[in-house]
């Protein structure tokens, strides 16, 4: 089985160089690296092809955000697509060997989700998975999952060929995962496969990212959930997004823009994208956890990080 590393990047030259070096050190021999550059202006276009001549490098004249990954998949030839960011890579040089072994042994597994380790936060694990797991005794076929981190995930090519790519930036992994689950694909979480995330500080527009999340949370809600459940979930989404906007000290006009964006996205999604998940699939998509519980956990982790920084000072 061939592994194709597909990286979408923009103006992260130094991060990308470190990441490509790490992927070159993966011991699994049958691999390739494809980089799709969303119109970088920081010298990436001139530097990467000369430093890494074996990397398939595609420069785009416009920024199509994470949607560009489908072009990388098209130009790749692997049976497995390793989706990652330009600032992330596996902790172990034998990670691809482990991934291939799992997918060969368990043909029913279509997507492998990995552990996300935030390097610049003292190697803190991002506790994104909603259920309890045993890190010391991971089942050989992993844990049932409803999503994956974009910093590192193995996806069989047939998943992309069946459902397409990512639909915009912000919560895109869960939208992709939900479509995959509805299509009959299976996702498993392996916390013993760790991905190092260096969380690049470049191209981090907090207001833009918050607005993207506003849109995608509502889009996800009205795309996959039954009507009345979507209504209840919408009130929670709007409330939690306003709270996050206040915590992040966003301009009040940005918060107002986010509220209007969420309201208009309801009608747009209902009219053009609605594909309500069957009950059995919805149970997997949510893993039995309410949106309130997930957001409460998110804010708990956020405040925990803030308190740690405060006490360090």
Strand, helix or coil for residue 66: helix
Provide the sign of the torsion angle of the four alpha carbons 238, 244, 249, 250, taken in this order: negative
Contact criterion met (CB below 8 Å) for 6 and 68: no
Pairing mode, strands 153-156 and 111-118? antiparallel
Question: Each residue's pLDDT tens digit in the chain (313 positions)?
Answer: 999 999 999 999 999 999 999 999 999 999 999 999 999 999 999 999 999 999 999 999 998 888 899 999 999 999 999 999 999 999 999 999 999 999 999 999 999 999 999 998 889 898 889 899 999 999 999 999 999 999 999 999 999 999 999 988 888 999 999 999 999 999 999 999 999 999 876 556 889 989 999 999 999 999 999 999 999 999 999 999 999 999 889 999 999 999 999 999 999 999 999 999 999 999 999 998 888 887 777 777 666 666 665 555 5
Is 164 found in the same domain as 227?
Answer: no
Q: Locate all alpha helices (DSSP H) within the chain, ordered by sequence.
A: 13-24, 44-51, 69-75, 95-105, 157-163, 172-182, 206-224, 227-247, 252-272, 279-286, 291-312
Contact criterion met (CB below 8 Å) for 108 and 158: no
Contact criterion met (CB below 8 Å) for 87 and 199: yes
Is 72 found in the same domain as 47?
Answer: yes
Count of domains for the chain = 2
Contact criterion met (CB below 8 Å) for 1 and 79: yes
Is 172 found in the same domain as 213?
Answer: no
CATH classification of the domain holding 35: 3.90.550.10
Q: Which residue range forms the structural domain that includes residue 9? A: 3-197
Tokens of 139: 């089942």
Strand, helix or coil for residue 85: coil
Q: What is the dihedral of CA 80, 119, 145, 153, to 10 degrees?
A: -10
């Amino acid at each position: 089985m061939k592994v194709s590393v597909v990286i979408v990047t923009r103006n992260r030259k130094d991060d990308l160089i470190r990441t490509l070096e790490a992927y070159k050190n993966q011991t699994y021999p049958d691999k390739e690296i494809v980089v799709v550059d969303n119109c970088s202006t920081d010298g990436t276009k001139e530097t990467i092809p000369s430093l890494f001549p074996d990397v398939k490098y595609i420069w785009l004249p416009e920024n199509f955000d994470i949607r560009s990954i489908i072009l990388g998949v098209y130009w790749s030839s692997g049976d497995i697509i390793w989706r990652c960011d330009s600032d992330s890579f596996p902790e172990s040089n034998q990670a691809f060997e482990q991934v291939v072994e799992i997918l060969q042994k368990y043909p029913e597994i279509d997507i492998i989700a990995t552990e996300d380790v935030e390097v610049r936060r003292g190697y803190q694990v991002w506790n994104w998975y909603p259920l309890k797991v045993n890190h010391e005794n991971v089942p050989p076929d992993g844990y049932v999952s409803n999503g994956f981190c974009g910093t590192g995930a193995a996806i069989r090519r047939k998943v992309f060929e069946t459902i397409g790519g990512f639909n915009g930036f912000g919560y895109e992994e869960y939208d992709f995962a939900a479509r995959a689950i509805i299509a009959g694909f299976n996702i498993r979480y392996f916390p013993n496969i760790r991905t190092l995330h260096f969380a690049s500080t470049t191209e981090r527009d907090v207001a833009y990212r918050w607005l993207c999340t506003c849109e995608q949370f509502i889009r996800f809600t009205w795309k996959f959930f039954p009507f009345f459940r979507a209504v209840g979930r919408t009130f929670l989404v709007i409330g939690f997004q306003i709270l996050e906007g206040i915590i992040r000290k966003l301009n009040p006009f940005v918060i107002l823009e986010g509220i209007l964006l969420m309201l208009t996205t309801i009608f747009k999604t209902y009219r053009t994208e609605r594909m309500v998940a069957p009950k059995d699939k919805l149970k997997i998509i949510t893993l039995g956890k309410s949106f309130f519980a997930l957001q409460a956990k998110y804010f708990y982790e956020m405040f925990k990080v803030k308190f740690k920084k405060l006490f360090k000072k």
